[in-house]
Amino acid sequence: MPLQVVPHPDNIVVGAPASVSVSPYVASRGAGTFVVLGFTLGGVMISDKRDRYKVSPDQLLGNVISVPIKAEATIKFKMLEGVLENFRYALGLPAGAKTGTTPNFTLKRDMSAAGIYHQIKVVGVGNGTTGVLTFTAWRCVFSEVEDTGMKKEEAKVIGVTIDILEEAETPANGAYQYVDA
């Protein structure tokens, strides 16, 4: 559905993401092999922030220049399926950190391990012909894990923050994209 020139109720989209998927990082903007992380809780938040250098001369009250000097983007969500494979992703650990066979696994945390990069895909409701909006970030790192409770009256939820990084090899192509088709 094309974007309406005037406000129209058809442009209002209601609905949670259908899925959040992760893939190991491949070549710059390459097509990864994605695995669905399972159910989420509370939706997915994608944030984009720019820091700007502003110049306000003594002779004027307002700024006359505002130049972007830093850009940051993050993805935040909560994984409702508290399985060790999701913990492995959240902690930025390599596949070898998890050992065992279904359903019995061990996850060992190396606090000094180098960061593991991923691609992230969020698929949800959109306005396009198929009604599907797909967000893809090509170079990401799981940067923060919320406190994880183990309580009788709560589900084990893994809350994560993922930093979206810029592609150094092809920065003009962007760090992420939305496709509404």
Residues in the chain: 181
Whether 1 maps to a domain, the answer reads no
Asked, for residue 3, whether it belongs to a domain, the answer is no
Q: With H, G, I as helix, E, B as strand and everything else as coil, classify residue 171.
A: helix
- Flag whether 112 is in a domain: yes
Domain count, the chain: 1
pTM metric for this prediction: 0.86
18 within domain boundaries:
yes
24: in domain: yes
Residue pLDDT tens, the chain, 181 long: 565 567 878 778 887 677 999 999 887 677 789 999 999 999 999 999 999 999 999 999 999 999 999 999 999 999 999 899 999 999 988 888 999 988 899 999 888 888 789 999 999 998 889 989 999 999 999 999 999 888 888 888 999 999 999 887 766 667 899 999 8
Does residue 157 belong to any structural domain of this protein?
yes
- Expressed as residue numbers, the domain containing 101 is 9-180
